[in-house]
Amino acid sequence: MDVRRRQPIGVELVKKGIVSENNIEEALKYQREHPNKKIGDILYILGATDPARLIEAIGEIVGTKGILLTGKNMNIKLTDYISLDVAKKNKAIPFEVNAGKIKVCFANTVNKKTMDTVRLILLNKGLVMESYITFETDIERILKSLEGEVTSNLTSTGRNENTVSLVDSIIKTGMERRASDIHIEPMQKEVRVRYRIDGELITAASIEKEKQNQIIGRLKAISNMHQERQDSQDGRILLYDDYNIRVSSQPNVYGEKFVLRLLRKDADIRNIFELGYSGTEEEFRKSINKKNSITIVAAPTGEGKTTSLYSIIDYLNRPQINITTIEDPVEIRIPGLNQIEIDAKSSFSGSLRTVLRQDPDIILVGEIRDRETGEIAIQAGQTGHYVLSTIHTLDSIEVVTRLRKIGLSDYDIASTLATSISQRLVRRLCPKCKKERPFNDEEKAVIEKIGKKYGIDFDTSGTTYDAVGCKHCNNTGYYERIAVFEVLDVTDDIKEAIMNGKSSIEIRKEALANGYKPLVVDGINKVIKGYTTLEELNNKLLFI
């Protein structure tokens, strides 16, 4: 079937008599609150009709076989055929093998690239793939249940297998559980393994103390570190095709601690609005689509600055413009960009000088760390280029203070800085277990106080949610994260304040008069919309 010509699935389902128009209207209302959910899955979640009939009809519409995936028709062990990482990335579950053929359920059979990836893996195992479609909700549920098995396997591997397998299991489990960092920590009587997932550290396993030296030796070997040195070292692990892993070692009183930062090479670039940007597309375009200027994304370490920078670059990327990036390291490879990776023999400032001779339209500098890099970036902005970069500050106003501290003049800052964007990452409420309730009086008072301070009338007449905890979210009540943003557009009044050497307090007053809204305002709006909780927001911004 030519999917480009068929009508929307909702219309087709009504025509087939599977659901009513009222069901579709209800599903569309739900989709406005959960834009990442497909209509078919929403109808399933809402219980609009018999699930088996629904998925069979969806299969007919998209030109494949639809099946309701349950434990009864899962006749094989998934990880015997594809890794859990591959299954999650492609939202695919093998469920039956017979006579050289393997049946595989997908959440989306329109994406041929995804299907071909799994098909090739199975073909290399001598199996011909037969594709089916099922509900994404069920695929996520099954994959989540398998995560618990992986964690158990990790602990047993620590008891029974050799060091190479143990370290490999620690790393692969971190990948499968969406960890951004892996902490391997010598303690007094054991070696503790923790994963940072959605910004929170979760203990995964404890390994016998006698394995400590072998684990350290293996990590140093694959990270290209000096075995005999016991001081701080940095390295990289390049053994895994999909990941660039940065490694840091640091001695403590019980041995050498290792932290592994997991960076996906082929991670999908998320749309800035999916990340949490709450303004309109017109407002966003006005803030970032500029020439002869610099846009800076500002936040403390680990708050998603690079992710937002990639989203902006992806939004601006067109064949008609030349975009060059200077990064340490290149975290995501983007087609059509000239991406330069900093190494021990190069620097941001040195690479930036070279890039200016490469006829760029847009330049991304991973971070402005010092005066030299800042001055060259300013020069690039003043000579017709659009420069994007990051800097470590608490908010978008303090970008000015930080640039002053590294030695840039008020004139250069005022004439070139066009926009500064600050952000924080807060945990999203788990969609599986969040519990709806009215705002209580204490919460209303806090929100009203913030509203009065910034001249905003927040509506707390609706409901909020409590974080509960379930298997899907590792009993945390939260799953993934969303960004809270503030944007400072440097108007003529603000430029004048910078030129006159005014303090950040005075610049903030001027910005508020020009429509600037601080992080907490966007955060409160996200609480009211049910994305996160007031408690989680306060943990990040400390406004209570």
Instruction: Please give the chain's pLDDT, 544 residues, in tens.
Output: 333 445 788 888 999 899 898 999 888 988 888 888 888 889 988 888 888 899 999 999 988 899 998 767 787 888 778 877 778 888 899 998 887 789 999 988 777 777 888 887 787 677 888 999 999 988 888 887 776 555 555 555 444 457 888 899 899 889 888 899 999 999 999 999 999 988 888 888 888 899 999 999 999 999 999 988 888 999 989 888 888 899 999 999 999 999 999 988 766 788 899 899 988 899 998 888 678 899 999 999 889 998 899 999 989 998 899 999 998 878 777 888 999 988 777 888 888 888 988 999 999 998 999 999 999 999 999 988 999 999 999 999 999 999 999 999 999 999 999 999 999 999 999 999 999 999 999 999 999 999 999 999 999 999 999 988 877 877 778 899 999 999 999 999 999 999 999 999 999 999 999 999 999 999 999 999 999 999 999 988 988 7
The residue extents of the domains of the chain are 9-135, 161-264, 272-427+481-516
pLDDT at 152: 53
Task: List the beta bridge partners of residue 423.
Answer: 485
How distant is the alpha carbon of residue 102 from its chain centre? 32
Nearby residues of 211 by Cβ (< 8 Å), 6 or more positions away: 158, 163, 166, 191
With tokens 């998925």, the residue in question is 55
Strands 386-391 and 293-298: parallel
CATH number of 9-135: 3.30.300.160
Q: Which amino acid, 143?
A: L
Q: CA torsion sign, 463 to 466 to 471 to 474?
A: positive
Distance CA 56, CA 50 (A): 10
CB-CB contact of 471 with 148 (8 Å): yes
Distance CA 524, CA 541 (A): 11
pLDDT at 99: 76
pLDDT at 470: 79
How is residue 122 written in tokens? 């199975």
CATH number of 161-264: 3.30.450.90
CB-CB contact of 321 with 328 (8 Å): no
**What pTM value is reported for the model?**
0.66
pLDDT at 147: 60
- Give Rg (Cα) of the chain: 26
3-state secondary structure of 220: helix
For residue 506, the number of C-alpha atoms closer than 13 Å in the C-beta half-sphere is 11
pLDDT at 257: 96
Task: List the beta bridge partners of residue 478.
Answer: 429
Nearby residues of 98 by Cβ (< 8 Å), 6 or more positions away: none
* DSSP E strand boundaries for 10-165: 65-66, 92-98, 101-106, 128-133
CATH number of 272-427+481-516: 3.40.50.300
Q: Where are the alpha helices (DSSP H) in 317-397?
A: 348-355, 371-382
pLDDT at 497: 96
